[in-house]
Amino acid sequence: MSVYRLKDSTGKEKSKEYYYDFRINGRRFSGYTGTASKTKAKQVEQAKKAEALAPKDTSSINGVFAQFFEEKGCDYADPPAVIWRMGKLQDELTKILQDESLPPNLSEIRTRHLTSYVSIRRKQPNNRKKLPSPSTINREIQLLRTIIRYAVNVFEVEMRLPNFGEAIKAEPSERIVEIEPNVMDKIKEHMRLDFHDALEFLVLAGPRASNVLQGKGIALKAEHVNLKKRELTFYVKSKLPGGRPITIPITQPMLVILANNIGQHPDAVFTFIAQSTRDGRKRGERYPLSYTAFKSAFKAAAAKVGQPQLRVHDLRHTAATRILRSSGNIAAARDMLGHTRVTTTEKYSHVMKQDLRKIMEDAHNYQQITNEVSDEKKKRKQNR
């Protein structure tokens, strides 16, 4: 493939600028040329090919990380998050090796260096002055494992693989919260009117908000919705370029919301009305609703109704628990949520256990009443 412009599912070009995509010795190189001129785009492609053929630094941590991102990491669903994690790993691992008077080479990394990294990271507060959670640090170690294995298999780096399991820490069970309908109604009352459809849709369809709203992931676009087939596709975080597609049916309540919103913006499904003219926006016009704006509004509304602990992600939990309670079908809940393994969905099994408890209680109460009636009949017969 030579240089090209991005196209949507209908074949219509989405960008004026060109991208490049080629392979050399089985390795893929792709990216953005930064120009709308095809001639200049081809020049960028030729420069990238020359760069790819030039000898690479596949021994140092910095060299391997840079090469990994160019060939693989840039295609991840959230490249900025990959860059941030790689930066942390590069900085801290380089310091750890230098403290032992070792060169900052990938092959020098041992298990003790991983555990040292974890120990250091656990004490580093973020911008909000909060210490990183075990899951945050685990994602960094898992990324390092991916990079090292890629370096060994693709760059043919010779090294002894560290024991990554020693650095992975136990993560607390995820908090599963189902927002009660009356609480949801109160939250809705304290949110802007043009946020209501997004709120209701998240509870009905159960996606991650970052897969619907702009800012964190691949937002839901009009082209992802097929009203005729009554299907829509989300693109979730994945190692696949562009994210992993999850297609779910559109129910009647979802259809009403989508039909009322599609067409109000050329691209985005969910939008908001600008309240004032500033930052390039005009008062009264619609713009894509961002995850950050929605999250702030939701948290403020939740606090006003006495539920400050609620999170936007609890809307997804609510959708999952409701579908599981109504159907008892964990496979259906898995498909709606887009989980690749049913074991991930089993964290919602507490709903089925609660329902089972009620069923058993009702059955046992019925049995107790039946026994009491039988005893009463026996007494009457004896008295005769």
The DSSP code for 92 is H
Q: Count Cα atoms within 13 angstroms, Cβ side, for 154.
A: 19
| Mean pLDDT over the full length of the chain | 87
Q: Are residues 147 and 230 in the same domain?
A: no
Distance CA(171)–CA(118), nearest Å, equals 14
Q: Are residues 213 and 343 in the same domain?
A: yes
Print the domain residue range for 73.
55-166
What is the predicted pLDDT for the residue at 265?
92
User: Three-state DSSP class for 126?
Assistant: coil
Q: Are residues 313 and 203 in the same domain?
A: yes
Would 362 be classed as within a structural domain?
no
Distance CA(129)–CA(127), nearest Å, equals 5
Q: Are residues 263 and 299 in the same domain?
A: yes
The pLDDT > 90 percentage for the chain reads 53
Would 230 be classed as within a structural domain?
yes
Distance CA(160)–CA(151), nearest Å, equals 12
Would 173 be classed as within a structural domain?
no
Q: Are residues 196 and 308 in the same domain?
A: yes
pLDDT in tens, 123-159: 999 888 889 999 999 999 999 999 999 999 999 999 9
Q: Which bin fits 280, alpha (ψ -120 to 50), beta or left (φ > 0)?
A: left
Number of domains in the chain: 3
Q: Are residues 235 and 294 in the same domain?
A: yes
Would 326 be classed as within a structural domain?
yes
Q: Are residues 229 and 316 in the same domain?
A: yes
Distance CA(22)–CA(51), nearest Å, equals 13
| Domain limit, last residue, from 50, 74, 91 | 50
Would 384 be classed as within a structural domain?
no
pLDDT in tens, 249-269: 999 999 999 999 999 999 899
pLDDT in tens, 63-114: 999 889 888 888 776 778 888 999 999 999 999 999 999 999 999 999 999 9
Would 213 be classed as within a structural domain?
yes
Would 152 be classed as within a structural domain?
yes
Q: Are residues 153 and 283 in the same domain?
A: no
Q: Are residues 192 and 154 in the same domain?
A: no
Q: Which bin fits 245, alpha (ψ -120 to 50), beta or left (φ > 0)?
A: beta
Q: Looking at residue 97, which CATH number applies to its domain?
A: 1.10.150
pLDDT in tens, 324-377: 888 888 888 888 988 888 777 887 776 666 666 666 677 677 666 555 556 565
| Domain limit, last residue, from 12, 27, 50 | 50
Count of CB atoms within 10 A of residue 238's CB?
17
Q: Looking at residue 247, which CATH number applies to its domain?
A: 1.10.443.10
For the four alpha carbons of 337, 178, 171 and 291, in that order, the dihedral sign comes to positive
Q: Are residues 66 and 203 in the same domain?
A: no
pTM, to two decimals: 0.65
Q: Are residues 72 and 46 in the same domain?
A: no
Q: Are residues 222 and 255 in the same domain?
A: yes
